[in-house]
Chains A and B, each alone.
Chain A
């Protein structure tokens, strides 16, 4: 037998002559992005450079005031830190909760699979705001959870859950758990069970098999899950607003109030863009590090 090179699948061989027409498919999406992402982002960029001494009533002059960035970040550095801290904790806990859940749904749920998937996305049938509001009731000082924890002496008698960092992070975790679970599930569901058998056959204990086969194969889901959780969580303000106090406020709260209450557009734009930029940098570093560019 002569294994010839032609036997190998030549992956670089793509039907090049079709490429020109393929681009046409991108046009609607590109136009959409142009109008509703790129254009507003550029607007935001200009807005962030307005003279900070202007006001909504008197108008803002364009003075290319790059100093806005330094000022804003200096003034709100604690909010940046807190936002990323809360988002980081949220992502980590979501991962720890969602992985076993997604694993169970993918491998162990049998005929209950669809039911369980529907249950995972069931919260989406209610609005984000309403769900967070109902967490207010659940965690209320006179509510059942607080009462239970006080009875167990886990919380002191005058302790509370609502309006604490715990409540804010718990709300974030709850709200973003499906965003972690679904991509993980999608990845795990694609893992061929026979590969796990093969790992066992090749001297891997169940744990080693998980570490060497299942986990690496679920990396695309893990990476997209963490991104889908971390990115929106770091910009969220509803949870801090409804479940926290000013001491738990995140960057989103400041942006919200700058835009919608103070109408301090340059500040709001500066903060929005800074957050966006920081998140993008973090995401790039993260994807580089996890080395899953090909898989994502």
Chain B
């Protein structure tokens, strides 16, 4: 079906544009002067904790909320003032919102019938096949499992070949295993039909698994937008550093930012950060290192790698989680740093009380402005 209006697509790209969009509920600013573009055909994720404005943004695209200011457009068409039922946008709702009084077939055919499309039967059957529910067309939603209902919701929206498909926490109600399965499934379908997906989620893993581009939202603004690896490896704010994965943030003073490697003083020990990953060049800064990037070695052993080093740590906690072992290492200045080591079986694990030195490559750390809260984004509702 992606081919059916391919002609239109090859003309003006039907990118989704949000321009200076704001939404206020009374005094509360849910979305603050948001501007962003989702290229046609992208799998785009809006990631953030609950209350960050991501769902409100989605609802403004769907037309279920009116922006207080700003415009929403698809391609060249301004849809800001359009009623939801006139927008070339469909939504997969968090609760699925399947019509309980209609069969699965009729749920999926709903949009087609409203638009007076002919050929409902064939298109609906095709869609049932695509979401792998051929034999369930005659059932009612309550007779399906959660995963099946999710696929109905998806099919019901996709059949309309929307310019943009909005997914509001579509996998939130599924258990972990099924969610993993559906993540891959969604990605497969999106790749197959090429429709723009805008996916709202608070689950960073889900976002990273599926999306080409992730926008991390916090308090109504986008903190950072980019490809999943870029956001992970080179976060620009402490919020992103903490919300996507885990980070050790160590207070440092910038010593020299003239070279391609910025040198910082970390409680008396000097370490370097790639210039491309330094987001401050003077005064104080947060040095960020992902726990899995750190290599711990016995105090003063030859194992210690070149590059950045911080010495004088003591293992204060060891937890074995199967694929890896997670250490807490108390540094001389009192901070505990996380260190994850893969259980390759190459060497013995440390015990609590062992004295260790830490090392990592300058390309694997980042430097953030010290004005930010080091704990921002760290506390989040962990749903898995």
Q: Are B110 and A202 in contact (CB under 8 A)?
A: yes
B185 at the A interface (CB under 8 A): yes
Q: Are A197 and B93 in contact (CB under 8 A)?
A: yes
Q: Are A194 and B85 in contact (CB under 8 A)?
A: no
A192 at the B interface (CB under 8 A): yes
Residue in A closest to B148 when the chains form the complex, CB atoms: A7
Binds A, one of B66-74, B95-103, B194-202, B260-268: B95-103
For the complex, give the distance between the alpha carbons of A3 and B151 in Å: 10
Cβ-neighbour of A195 out of B62, B99, B111, B133 (below 8 A): B99
B160 at the A interface (CB under 8 A): yes
For the complex, give the distance between the alpha carbons of A216 and B100 in Å: 10
Q: Are B99 and A1 in contact (CB under 8 A)?
A: no
For the complex, give the distance between the alpha carbons of A257 and B333 in Å: 100
Please give, as numbers and ranges, the residues of chain B lying within 8 Å of A7 by CB-CB distance.
Answer: 144-145, 147-148
Cβ-neighbour of A203 out of B100, B115, B184 (below 8 A): B115
Interface size bracket, B side = 35 or more
* A179 shortest CB reach to chain B, Å: 24
Q: Are B145 and A9 in contact (CB under 8 A)?
A: yes
B132 at the A interface (CB under 8 A): yes
A147 at the B interface (CB under 8 A): no
For the complex, give the distance between the alpha carbons of A200 and B181 in Å: 30
Q: Are B90 and A201 in contact (CB under 8 A)?
A: yes
Please give, as numbers and ranges, the residues of chain A lying within 8 Å of B110 by CB-CB distance.
Answer: 199, 202, 212
Contact flag A195-B143 (CB < 8 Å), given A1-B185, A3-B133, A200-B64: no
List residues 178-225 of chain A with CB under 8 A from any CB of chain B: 192, 194-195, 197-205, 208-209, 212-213, 216-217, 219
For the complex, give the distance between the alpha carbons of A204 and B185 in Å: 28
Cβ-neighbour of A204 out of B85, B97, B100 (below 8 A): B85
* A170 shortest CB reach to chain B, Å: 35
A11 at the B interface (CB under 8 A): yes
Q: Are A1 and B181 in contact (CB under 8 A)?
A: yes
* A292 shortest CB reach to chain B, Å: 10
Please give, as numbers and ranges, the residues of chain A lying within 8 Å of B101 by CB-CB distance.
Answer: 213, 216-217, 219, 295
Most A Cβ at <10 Å: residue of B86, B97, B148, B156: B97
B295 at the A interface (CB under 8 A): no
* A77 shortest CB reach to chain B, Å: 40
Q: Are A197 and B100 in contact (CB under 8 A)?
A: no
* B254 shortest CB reach to chain A, Å: 51
List residues 57-109 of chain B with CB under 8 A from any CB of chain A: 62-64, 83-86, 89-91, 93, 95, 97-101
Most A Cβ at <10 Å: residue of B99, B151, B185: B99
Residue in B closest to A11 when the chains form the complex, CB atoms: B143
Cβ-neighbour of B90 out of A195, A202, A204 (below 8 A): A202
B136 at the A interface (CB under 8 A): yes
For the complex, give the distance between the alpha carbons of A104 and B86 in Å: 26
Would you give 24 A-B contacts (Cβ < 8 Å), ordered by A? A1-B132, A3-B132, A8-B143, A8-B148, A9-B143, A9-B144, A194-B95, A197-B64, A197-B84, A197-B93, A198-B93, A199-B99, A199-B110, A200-B64, A202-B156, A203-B86, A203-B111, A203-B114, A204-B85, A205-B85, A212-B110, A212-B114, A213-B99, A295-B101
Residues of B within 8 A of A (CB): 62-64, 83-86, 89-91, 93, 95, 97-101, 110-111, 114-115, 132-133, 136, 139, 142-145, 147-148, 151, 156-157, 160, 181-182, 184-185
Given A203-B160, A212-B110, 9 additional A-B pairs, CB 8 A: A7-B148, A8-B136, A198-B91, A200-B85, A202-B114, A202-B156, A204-B85, A212-B114, A295-B101
4 closest Cβ contacts across the A-B interface? A198-B97, A203-B114, A202-B111, A200-B84
